[in-house]
Structure 1
Amino acid sequence: MAQNYLIIEDHLMLSSLIEKQLEQIQDIGEIHRVKNGAEALKCFKTNYIDFVLLDLLLPDMEGIHLIPKFKEINSNVKIIIISAESDIAKIKNVAKLGIDAYVSKMNNDQQILKAIQSVKNNKRFISDDILELLFNYDSLEVTPQKSLQKFLTKREVEILHYIAEEMTSKQIADLLLISRHTVETHKRRMMQKLKVTNTAGLIKVAYDKQLLK
């Protein structure tokens, strides 16, 4: 039976990429794309939606406020979060609202299709980097080099070295062929993991724990 999907994402390039991934699904029905919360509610009320793919940060509201409204209209809807959010408290709050999957924008290559397949099999799905944050953040004690390297991803360590060399986010993005936004998200996530509030603190901890030499 064909199933209908609603993509709620204000970045058109990413929205288009998600749509192309959905088109690989055999039983795909209608795919609706909207850019904000108001459009999402209007579309949801006028169409039967089986799956919602929701960004948490929308131009007109936080995506988290849409979840109970969707559930009230259709209690059977499946909700998959696709977000760059790395704040642990916010992720946990979203999980409490009964979402079915959480996919990180930082690591979404085929993750969306895996998430959908898991949900169809009545299983929840969380992408690996989000799982790492959830399992390690609360118990993090910034310890020796080996532990710190294990806690940070390879990409984060790579970006950290470039930050220490006083490269700007744009320079790092150009070098690694990624967007400036992606670099900034990695930087923010590292600061949250290491419990510092700025770039100077990030570099200090890295040197103190001998991650940088």
Structure 2
Amino acid sequence: MNRKIRVFLTDDHTLLRNALTMLLEGQEDMEVVGEAASGCECLEGVKHKKPDVVLMDISLPDCDGVEATGKILTALPETRVIAVTMHVEDEYLLRFLNAGGRGYVHKSAADRELIKAIHTVVKGDVFLSATGVQVMANQYCSTESVSEVTPDILSDRELQVLQFLARGFTSREIGEKLFLSPRTIETYRERITVKLKLEHRSDLVDYAIRYKLLG
């Protein structure tokens, strides 16, 4: 039998943590290995437990979920972090993705979408709930940062790297898939951003969505 997916919960509401624990423990392939009510408590717990997935609220005492996500991924880059939050504003989603977050689930839909989100990020993909997709669509419609340069300016390899980047893969993970070094992937990333006149990961996601590059 395959090892269970180890999940760590972070939310300052005890009732929600209890509800999520019941939901996850009811899955044959998942187990809750720890929980925290604040950002600092989460950081300590995650370093000790080394979970596969962290469920992260954005609004937390002492250290918000975006900041905590960045610190977790600095210490444990293999960990996948999913935001489970009531926030639907563009700024929260984009900050979270830029910090390295892999999934975004609205609390009102957690009972329907969370299990799928966990399976998705464990496979290496990015999961956005319907609310998150709408936020990205709004960002795409309103932003002026999305490049007008078409994808045909990119080489086949650059296009391949862009697709992986937009899905949330790290340079090391992309390198493993393409049999290239992380440094080479970083070089491709620099070329892509220069050619497309983009700077941030959220811009790459916007671009990939706009030009239907994610299949």
Say whether the fold is shared (TM-score over 0.5): yes
Equivalent in the alignment of 2:120: 118
Q: 1 CA distance for matches of 2:6 and 2:123?
A: 17
Q: 1:32 to 1:138 in 2, by over 3 A?
A: same
Asked if structure 2 preserves the Cα contact closer than 8 Å seen for 1:84 and 1:106, the reply is yes
Asked if structure 2 preserves the Cα contact closer than 8 Å seen for 1:102 and 1:125, the reply is yes
Q: How far apart are 1:95 and its partner, in Å?
A: 0.9
Equivalent in the alignment of 2:63: 61
Q: Of 53, 57, 78, which residue of structure 2 is paired with 1:51?
A: 53
Asked if structure 2 preserves the Cα contact closer than 8 Å seen for 1:5 and 1:53, the reply is yes
Equivalent in the alignment of 1:41: 43
Equivalent in the alignment of 1:26: 28
Q: How far apart are 1:26 and its partner, in Å?
A: 1.8
| TM-score, reference length from structure 1 | 0.61
Give the 3-state SS of the residue equivalent to 2:40 in structure 1.
helix
Letter aligned with residue 53 of structure 1: L
Q: 1 CA distance for matches of 2:47 and 2:76?
A: 9
Larger radius of gyration: 1
Q: Of 72, 75, 78, which residue of structure 2 is paired with 1:76?
A: 78
Asked if structure 1 preserves the Cα contact closer than 8 Å seen for 2:21 and 2:32, the reply is no
Q: 2 CA distance for matches of 1:31 and 1:110?
A: 22
Q: Which runs of 5+ in 1 are unaligned?
A: 141-213
- Confirm whether residue 11 of structure 1 aligns to residue 37 of structure 2: no
Equivalent in the alignment of 1:205: none
Q: 1 CA distance for matches of 2:75 and 2:17?
A: 24
Equivalent in the alignment of 1:161: none
Equivalent in the alignment of 2:137: 135
Asked if structure 1 preserves the Cα contact closer than 8 Å seen for 2:33 and 2:51, the reply is no
Q: 1:45 to 1:121 in 2, by over 3 A?
A: closer
Q: How far apart are 1:137 and its partner, in Å?
A: 5.4
Give the 3-state SS of the residue equivalent to 1:108 in structure 2.
helix
| TM-score, reference length from structure 2 | 0.60
Q: How far apart are 1:90 and its partner, in Å?
A: 2.2
**Percentage of pairs with the same residue:** 23
Q: How many residues are paired up?
A: 140
Q: How far apart are 1:106 and its partner, in Å?
A: 2.6
Q: 1:34 to 1:92 in 2, by over 3 A?
A: same
Q: 2 CA distance for matches of 1:122 and 1:76?
A: 10
Asked if structure 2 preserves the Cα contact closer than 8 Å seen for 1:19 and 1:31, the reply is no
RMSD, matched Cα: 1.7
Deviation sequence 1:68-98 (CA, Å, 0-9, x none)? 2111221100111101112212211211122
Q: How far apart are 1:54 and its partner, in Å?
A: 0.2
Q: Which runs of 5+ in 2 are unaligned?
A: 143-215
Q: 1 CA distance for matches of 2:109 and 2:129?
A: 8
Equivalent in the alignment of 1:200: none
